[in-house]
Amino acid sequence: MTARVTIVGASGYAGGELLRLIHGHADLQVGQVISRSRAGQPVHAAHPNLRGQALPNFDAPEALAAADVLILALPHGEAQQDIERYNGLADNLIDLSADFRLQSDEAYQQWYGQPHATPAWLSRFTYGLPELNREAIRAARYVSGVGCNAAASILALFPLVRSNLLRPERPIVVEVKVGSSEGGAKPNPGSHHPARSGVVRSYAPVGHRHTAEVQQAFGSEGPEVHLSLTAVEMVRGALATAQAWVQPGTGEKDLWRIFREVYADEPFVRIVRERRGVHRRPEPKLLAGSNFADVSFDLDSATGRVVALCAIDNLMKGAAGNAMQCLNLMLGLEERAGLGFPGLHPI
C-alpha cells in the first residue's frame, strides 16, 4: 500500500529535498504541500528543480488534513506549539526541527534558553539517527530529525566512543565546516552573497546547540565533546573534523578494525581512506544530493591523537535524506528505498 506523506513547511530547502525524494519513491505519495508564505503557488515557485513534475500546489496551514505521515519542516520552536494537532492528523510523525531532539526539558532550557512548550512530548520522540537507533526507529511513531552538524560529528566519533579506546581525561574538539544552505531559505545578513562570498568565518567557536545532541547520543558516561563551527564558501555540505586521543599502544590497524566493525553493514556510511589520488579523504562536494556519510581517520602514533572525519550533504544525511531513511524504517520498507542517488562529479 502506498503511504500518503504530507510536508508542513515545504517551501524551505529541506522541504524541497523531501518533495524530490517522496515523488521518486515507489511506495510513497506526496500528499499536501503546506506553506503559509507560498499558499496557492505551484511547487516550482520555491523549488525550480521540480518544474514539470506532477505535484500539488502549496496549501495554507489552515487546509491541513489527515495523512498517513506528517513531516514537519518548520522553523525551530514552531512544531512544539501545535504538536497535539499534528498528532491527531497522522499515524506517523517526523519533525526535522530541534524541538524534540533532546530528551529533557532541563537540557532544552539549557541549550535553547527557554522552557519547552510541551515538555511531556520530549520523551515520546526517538532521536532519528538510524546508525545509533535503528531498532527504536522501526518501532516508533514519533521521530525527531537530527542536527546536521551533530550527525556529522556523531558519525565521525561513534567507532572511537564504542571501542573504549579513548582517553577519558582528554576532551574531544570537533570543528565542523558548513555550507550556506545550513542557514535556511530565508535570507539573512550572514547569507547575503557579497558578505558570504570567499568567506571562512568562525561563527560559533563555542556553545553551539548541536553539542547537546552529541553529548546525549554518547550518554552521561561518554566523552566530553566540544563543537566549533566554521562557515566556508560552499552551498551544500558539512565536514566534521574531530580531534581525539586514544590509549597508548593503539595503532592504525586497531582503528581500521573498529571502523569496519561499526560501519560494515551500514547502507549509507562509507569509509574513505585512500593511499593515492586526489580524493583520499571525505569531501562534502562529492556527496551533494546523496544520503551517504563518508568517514575516515588518521593517527599520530607519537602522541595518540586521532583525527576522525565525516562528510555529509547537510540537506540530505543532515536533514531530508536521513528523514526518508527513518521513514522507510518506520513503515517497514527497504531502508535504502528512494535513496540510491550517489551524488555528482564534477559539480
Active site members = 148
Q: Enter the C-alpha cell of residue 118.
A: 510541551
Instruction: Please state, in angstroms and rounded to a whole number, the distance separating the CA atoms of residues 147 and 15.
Output: 15
SS3 of residue 59 by DSSP: strand
Task: Pull the grid cell for residue 58.
Answer: 502549496
Which distant-in-sequence residues (6+ apart) come within 8 Å of 246 by Cβ? 160, 165, 166, 167, 254, 255, 299, 304, 306
**Eight-class DSSP state of 198:** T
DSSP 290-337: ---EEEEEEEETTTTEEEEEEEE-TTTTTTHHHHHHHHHHHTT--TTT
Within 13 Å and on the Cβ side, how many CA atoms surround 170? 18
